[in-house]
Structure formats: C-alpha cells, structure tokens
Amino acid sequence: MRANTISLFLLAALLLLPSCSGRKVSTVGSDPSVEARVEKLLSQMTLAEKIGQMNQISAGGAVSDYAEALRKGQIGSVLNEVDPVKINEFQRICVEESRLGIPLLVARDVIHGFHTVFPIPIGLAATFDTQLVEEGARVAAVEATAQGVRWTFSPMLDIARDPRWGRIAEGSGEDTWLDSRMAEAMVYGYQGRVSDSTSMAACIKHFVGYGAAEGGRDYNSTFLTERQLRNIYLPPFEAAVKAGAHTLMTSFNDNDGVPSTGNSFVLKDVLRDEWGFDGLVVTDWNSMGEMVSHGFGSDRKDVAAKAVGAGVDMDMMTFGFISHLEELVSSGAVKRSAIDNAVRNILRIKILLGLFEHPYVDVEAARRVQYAPEHLDAARRSAEESAILLKNDGVLPLNASGVRRILVTGPLADAPHDQLGTWVFDGEKSHTVTPLAALRERFPGAVDFVPGLAYSRQQRERFDDVVAAARRADVILAFVGEEAILSGEAHCLSDLNLIGSQSALLEALHSTGKPVVVTVMAGRPLTVERDLPNCDAMLYAFHPGTMGGPALSNLIFGDAVPSGKTPITFLRTVGQVPMYYNHNMTGRPYRGEKLLPYIELEAGQTSLGNTSYYLDSGASPLFPFGYGLSYTTFEYSDIRLGRDSYGVSDSVEVSFTLANTGRYAGTEVVQVYVRDLVGSVTRPVKELKHFERVSLEPGERRSLSVSIPVSDLAFYGLDGVKKVEPGEFLLWVAGDSASGNPLSFKVR
C-alpha cells in the first residue's frame, strides 16, 4: 500500500539524517549556531543596510541597472531573473563588492515546475498522491536552483470554493485536509528533506483567505469569521509551517476590513506567537502600496509603518521600506527592534540555504539538468494521475490495435503553450508534447487533424469539415476547454460553460454516431453538464503540462489507468456557486423535492416551500468532491470499527476490504470522512480525514486498516478553543464524498 511505502521512505530518510552533512528543513530558527551567525552579522549592520535587506525588487534589466544598489546593500532579494550568468554576477557584486558580503536571495514563481512543467496545482491535487507531488516539487527545485533561483513563491494554499476565481488553478481546491497534505508535500519537495544546494525556500501564500474573494473576482474583499479562518483556511498554512516552510507571503485581500499586509492578528498572533514561525514574511507584489488604494493608509510612508508594525519582513515592489523606514525609525514611528527582527528572519533563511558558502552556480551544469529524462518521466506520471475520468460508456480504454483512423479535433489538441497552464515563465512550448504530437508518433499515418475551432472562444455555426473527417474515422478524440490565459491571476469568469462554439462542436461530432472521447483541459472545474450527453467518455485533465500529450495518449489507449479524483466539487451551473461538500447542515435540508420543469406552476399555487435547494438545479453538484472513475471497479466491504467508543487521546481504527472487481489493474483513492453529529457550533456534514492510494490487480482483494487520531477531529467551537468535543460521530470509508454507508462511534 502506498501509505506504507511512504512511511518506510520517511523512516529511511530519518534514519539517514545523522549521517547527512546537510541540515534538516524543519528546524528553522532552532539551531544555535545559525542564530549566532545571524546575531553577529546583525551587529555589524548599519540601519540602511538592514533596510536594504528588507527590499525586494524585480530585476528583469541589465546587471548594470542594479549594480550600484547591490554594492550599497540596498537590495536583499530580487525576483524575475533566471539567467545563471546574470545571477552569478549579482551574487559576485553582493559577496565581493558590498561592505558585508551578504548574498542575494533570488526568487521566482516556480509554481508547477520550472522548465519541465507539471500539471497545474489543482491537477496535482487531483492525484491525491503526496509522494508524487513531492517528487514534482523536487524536480522543480533541482532545475531552478541549478540556475541560481533559491526561493519559489509556491505553494499556494488558498482554499477556494468558487471556480469563477481564476486562481483556483493554482491551489489544491476546496478541502482543508487535502490542501494541508499537498502543502506539506510541496514544502518537502522544494526545500528537500535535507537542506543542500538544491534546496529552494518555499513560500506559502497567500496569507490569508485570498481564495474567498467575494463573487470570485480576484483581489476582492473577504469576510471570513475567525472560526472559518481557523477551521478551514488556516490549517494548510499551519501544516506547511510545521513541515518547515521557510517563507510566507501576505495576500492582497482585506478580510473584514483589514488588508492582510497590515493584519497583525494573522501575522503576529497566529503565525508567530501561536505557530512559532520564524521564517521570512514577504508582501505580495505591491500589496503594501495597495493598502493606500484600500484606504487603509494615507500614503506609502504610512502603510510602510503599518506593514512593519504588523509583522512584514520584506517589501516586494512597493519600495516603501527603502524609501521611508529610516525616517520612520528616526521619528520613533517604527521601533529599531522591529527592523532587527525582520532582518534576522531574512538572514536566517540565507544562512539555512547555504548561500554564504555557495553563492554561485555552475552555468554549464545548469543547462544539463533542465528537462532531464527522469524529470519528464515524473511530469508524465503526474499528468496521468491528475486526469479524472468523469464519464465512460465503455468506450475507454481504446484498443490500439483495433483503431485504423483517428480524428483528432478541438482547440486544445495541439496548443503547446496552453496545455502548460497559468504561471509558466520558464517552460518552453518547444519542449511540450501535445496530444496531437503524441498520437501522431504512436499511430504514424493514422491520425487526421481537423481542429474545428482554432481557439476556444471562436464562434462557428457549422462544422462540415470536422463532421466529414469524423465520418471517415473509427474514433474521435476531441480536446476542448480553455486556454492558459483564461485562468490564473485576475483571470476570472462569470460563465463556466465551455466557451465559444465548443459545445456545438461536440454536438456535431456526436451526431455522426462515431465514438467521441472528450478530454477537457482547463484551469478550473467547468460546468460540463450539457456536454456529457455528447461524449462517450470524458477525461478531465486540467492543464497537464509538458508531458500532457503522452500522458493522455497512454490513458486513452489503456497504458495508464485513470485514478484522479475531483479535488473540488464540479457544479452543474455557475449559479450553484458556492457549493462544496463539507458545508454545514441547514435546518431544512433538501429531501428530493421535484425540480423544474416537473413542479407544477399553477396559478394560485403558493410559492412557499421548506427545504434548501434550487428549483432548477437541485441541491447536488454534477460530480461530488473526491469523485473519479477508473477502467476497473472497486468494491468496499467488511468495513468495521475497532471499538465503538474512544478517548480523546486514542485513534479510531477502521478496517475494511478493498477489492478490484474489474478487468484492469488500477489504483483507488480510498477516502475516510467523518461527521461530528452535535457540536457547540454546527458542524460540516462530512470532512475528509484520511486518504491513500491503493493499487490492486484485477480480482485482487486486500484487507486494509486506517487509524485516525481522535485529535484530528478537534475544531474551534463556541469558546474559540481548539478541542475535540465528546459525543457521537459518523465515519465513511468510500471512493468519493457522496458514497458509502456510515458507521458510528462515540468519543468520551
């Protein structure tokens, strides 16, 4: 079982630690020798040099543009420079020509791979495979650090329940538990389990609540209560901090009127005092300056004081610290001790990354590691595992030897840039393998390519050319969805149906009577309900990255078996937003009342009903959280609890048998959900508390057991204290959040 393999891997890593010369990642700030170095350096610094460390700038220009400032120690970090030759020169100026020789921290948005691009994060979350996600982040770190990038602005840990929000592509979806496990995996992957020259500091972002933007419009205000923050939005950040994340980024939003960059409750009380974080806190791009636009400060000087006061260490691109902090310190508006603390946090990370010892990179070696075969292999496996099979009328997998003519169609079939997804600065389309390229290589001479639509937004009334080609084909492989530009930062949508004439294209294809296999590539869960009848099978691939083509070809022809599960609820229509699986129970839950057009709309009929649903789309989503088909089938049986009553320091033991009842070897993502029936506040109807991937051969049955610490059932109740509230609970073991029969147990 995968979980056991991981434990063995962890154990081995821990046993190896003492013999490794590197540093374990999760000890930020706790190493006296590091602290001594920090203090020594700090004691030699002038106030101006300290403030310089707190300044981060975007360095896209020539080295000479920044040389003077680097020499004077006015820049602590740069982002957006990845040329190793230039980075070496930056470092040389800092190390050899600045008074104290403090190296630079070079940052980049390495969000889902550097050159080798992995599926977008929402796709990675769909793998439910923490080991593979860690491997992907490691690949990204190996490639990026080889070029001198030692800090990535990833992972994004924003819980999102609104697919209109374009940045839903960048996170792990709607669930706190899944997001927390992905957070740990990425932190371990980027930073390495042991710190060495391939360690890249992770930056957990955006702190906090950014994904709850009102209306799904980016940068919009949020109104999260402290209880929602603590129960839903903060735990992934806490998990990442515990995993040793070196840095954290504040978010653009204001929550209940307080912009995050000036929010001392989250940045000091929670992050520093409760969690003991002693990494580096950076603003988002000009988020300090934007506190003036928010109306939270009168000018740049005012917001600089507010940000330092709230606990920010580094200013990304507002230039507020470098311009005003000296003056603010002289006037007494900002305490010297606040500056010293910020600089400690910055120097500590530079020391932990080994930048003082190894500021330079080997330019030749850097070239060699990019797109290494094992990196491409990890990217392909990730793309295979991230695809979710939403529908299959028995057409998949296709039999490669039985297919003579294949029609490949749709705007995403051969869109190398777009299949990479959002936040790709370094992955090149020339290295990207599209589905069309992979299929042509696999079936030389057998593939017809008629795109139908050149791009997703295109409007077309007739598809005669595609239909004619479809009639000649044995099977139609359609690749639809949205281009990279339609999701990501500030790229929100208010309509989530397939854009342009894509649905009409699928309808035209279906009308030929030939089997239609649809793959959707998108940055979010689109509302595909109206398209399902027009396809015999649908694979949801998000944006699958560099190796998307071979991965999809493998899945379609059965060399890989789908195992991805929805990391977010798939809606029927955008009007259902927000609909997520772990909602609280209403006093009047839906009981299956009739929907339009079946309800009677007779004159004089009362408009009063009494349950919670939409007349036109009911109370259920199109696909629930955790859902995904395989080419095989799995059956759960003999689900048993070890006992029916537990103490708060016990673990709930649940055993069950999982059987592969189909004809293919496959992997099931086993999920365990729990419901706390009565609380001091209303509780979610279900919450994911465990998942693991289990691979079984056809006909194989395996007895499995899972242990859930009762402490994992703790939450912030009416008194605002995190604890387990004794009482009755329900527990499900199932393949998605809407299946299975609950067992009940008590906590004493």
Footprint of ligand BGC on this chain (CB under 6 A)?
109, 153, 205, 284-285, 489
Which residue, 77 or 512, is less far from ligand BGC as judged by CB? Answer: 77
CB of 283 to ligand BGC, least distance (A): 9
Q: What is the CB neighbour count within 10 angstroms for residue 286?
A: 18
Which residue, 510 or 543, is less far from ligand BGC as judged by CB? Answer: 543
Radius of gyration of the chain (CA): 27
Which residue, 116 or 253, is less far from ligand BGC as judged by CB? Answer: 253
Q: ∠ at Cα 481 (477, 487), nearest 5°?
A: 155
Q: What are the counts of helices (DSSP H) followed by strands (DSSP E) for the chain?
A: 21, 28
Which residue, 277 or 285, is less far from ligand BGC as judged by CB? Answer: 285
Which residue, 166 or 666, is less far from ligand BGC as judged by CB? Answer: 166
Residue by residue, DSSP assigns 567-613 as: SSPBPSSGGG-S--TTPBPPSS-------TTTS---TT------SSS
Determine how β-strand 666-676 pairs with β-strand 727-734: antiparallel
Residues 532, 518: Cα–Cα separation, whole Å = 9
Residues 200, 152: Cα–Cα separation, whole Å = 7
Residues 570, 525: Cα–Cα separation, whole Å = 6
Three-class secondary structure of residue 389 per DSSP = strand
Task: Name the DSSP letter for residue 94.
Answer: I
CB of 538 to ligand BGC, least distance (A): 31
CB of 349 to ligand BGC, least distance (A): 16
Three-class secondary structure of residue 543 per DSSP = coil
Crossing angle of helices 435-442 and 548-556, in 10° steps, is 60
Q: What is the CB neighbour count within 10 angstroms for residue 342?
A: 25
The Cβ-side half-sphere exposure at 191, using a 13 Å CA radius, reads 34
Q: What is the CB neighbour count within 10 angstroms for residue 256?
A: 13
CB of 111 to ligand BGC, least distance (A): 8
Q: ∠ at Cα 526 (520, 527), nearest 5°?
A: 115
In Å, how far from its chain's centre is CA 338?
A: 33
Residues 616, 713: Cα–Cα separation, whole Å = 36
CB of 430 to ligand BGC, least distance (A): 24
CA distances from 523 to 120, 219, 407 (A): 8, 18, 25
Which residue, 153 or 716, is less far from ligand BGC as judged by CB? Answer: 153
CB 531 within 8 A of CB 503: yes
Which residue, 253 or 456, is less far from ligand BGC as judged by CB? Answer: 253
Residues 466, 478: Cα–Cα separation, whole Å = 11
CB of 518 to ligand BGC, least distance (A): 32
Q: Is 218 a catalytic residue?
A: no
Out of 284, 302, 313, 676, the active site residue is: 284
Which residue, 188 or 285, is less far from ligand BGC as judged by CB? Answer: 285
Which residue, 128 or 151, is less far from ligand BGC as judged by CB? Answer: 151
Residues 121, 160: Cα–Cα separation, whole Å = 13
CB 171 within 8 A of CB 211: yes
Residue by residue, DSSP assigns 674-715 as: EEESS-SS--BS-EEEEEEEEEE-TT-EEEEEEEEEGGGG-E
The Cβ-side half-sphere exposure at 719, using a 13 Å CA radius, reads 6
- Output the residue with the shortest Cβ distance to ligand BGC: 153
Catalytic residues: 284
